[in-house]
Amino acid sequence: MDNLPLVKSLVEKLANNLNVPVSCKIRIFPNLQDTLSYAKMLEDAGCSLLAVHGRTRDEKDGKKFRANWEAIKAVRNVVRIPVLANGNIRHIDDVHGCLEETGADGVLSADPLLENPALFAGYRTAEWGLGVAGMKEDDKLDQAELLIEYLRFCERYPVPWRIIRSHVHKLLGEWFRIQPSVREDFNKQYKLTFEFLYDLVNRLKELGVRIPLYVKDTQQAVSAN
Ligand SMILES: Cc1cc2nc3c(=O)[nH]c(=O)nc-3n(C[C@H](O)[C@H](O)[C@H](O)COP(=O)(O)O)c2cc1C
């Protein structure tokens, strides 16, 4: 963002030489006009799809700073290419709210997906025990099962252990809060193994505590497009 001519030349070079579309992802500037010029510059340089993270470079902490959907909306209105909105997408209601408020063509979510990979399927992390009794089976997702599914994917498509470690930590956040001894044991592992992690899920289950669930959003309306 400090060297826009360089960004322009990179995107031009890629767009002119690749036979696949070039997409870009940007943060916003504090000044709206700067953001709009940036977006238009990228479109003119050959960008085919633009994702806009509605925070400035200084607004690092997503929990502290709300993403600026107004700025995303303004970008949406000055370019012709599809725009994806990013920031403040924590559950499916946010998806609908964001699409409506910004007019964007789609949304991106990153950090919230680490805690709840079922976000786009219309599930949210349940408050402990809240609304769970009497719920239909289809409306619940067992966090332990989701974690096991994730670990199986990691075995099939290897990723660095530091990524798995931080994802497992976020996925099991609620569980760890009420089982600090298991969390400590997890944190103590200098070297993680799949065996340890599968066993950890079993240990948590055996502790007999309620299993955290993801529950289907009441107003969910996940469309298939
Ligand atoms: C694990 C993780 C990895 C990320 N990697 C990238 C990346 O490689 N490139 C990028 O532009 N943003 C990356 N981001 C930032 C996100 O794409 C996103 O812009 C930011 O987290 C704000 O969206 P959120 O509020 O939905 O998390 C990453 C975020 C997370 C949590």
Give phi and psi for 9, each to the nearest 5.
-70, -35
- pLDDT at residue 126, rounded to an integer: 65
Domains of the chain by start residue, with CATH: 4-109 (3.20.20.70), 137-213 (no CATH)
* 12 pLDDT more than 90: yes
87 CB within 6 A, ligand 1: yes
| Closest atom, ligand 1, to C-alpha of 108 | 26
Q: How far is 56 from 60, CA to CA, in rounded Å?
A: 8
| Closest atom, ligand 1, to C-alpha of 87 | 25
- pLDDT at residue 214, rounded to an integer: 67
- pLDDT at residue 124, rounded to an integer: 79
**Among 141, 146, 73, 153, CA closest to 107:** 73
Report the separation in Å between the CA atom of 133 and the middle of ligand 1, taken as the mean of its atom positions. Answer: 35
Report the separation in Å between the CA atom of 24 and the middle of ligand 1, taken as the mean of its atom positions. Answer: 13
- In the chain, % helix, strand, coil (3-state, to 5) comes to 50, 15, 35
In this structure, the number of other CB atoms found within 10 A of the CB of residue 184 comes to 10
Q: Ligand 1, from 52, 111, 162, 165: best to mutate by most atoms within 8 Å of Cβ?
A: 111
pLDDT per residue as tens digits for the range 145-161 = 889 999 999 999 999 99
Per DSSP, the three-state class of 66 is coil
- pLDDT at residue 52, rounded to an integer: 98
**Among 50, 31, 30, CA closest to 40:** 50
Distances (CA, A) of 26 to 40, 60, 74, 87, 145: 12, 14, 14, 12, 35
Residue for token digits 């990979």? Answer: 117
Q: For 46, which DSSP code?
A: T
Q: For 209, which DSSP code?
A: P
Q: How far is 151 from 194, CA to CA, in rounded Å?
A: 7
143 CB within 6 A, ligand 1: no
Between strands 123-125 and 140-142, the pairing is unpaired
* Max mean pLDDT range (46-50, 127-131, 168-172): 46-50
Report the separation in Å between the CA atom of 86 and the middle of ligand 1, taken as the mean of its atom positions. Answer: 9
Higher local confidence (pLDDT), 54 or 201: 54
Higher local confidence (pLDDT), 216 or 144: 144
* Max mean pLDDT range (63-67, 80-84, 178-182): 80-84
90 CB within 6 A, ligand 1: no
pLDDT per residue as tens digits for the range 187-211 = 999 999 999 999 998 888 787 555 5
159 CB within 6 A, ligand 1: no
* 139 pLDDT more than 80: no
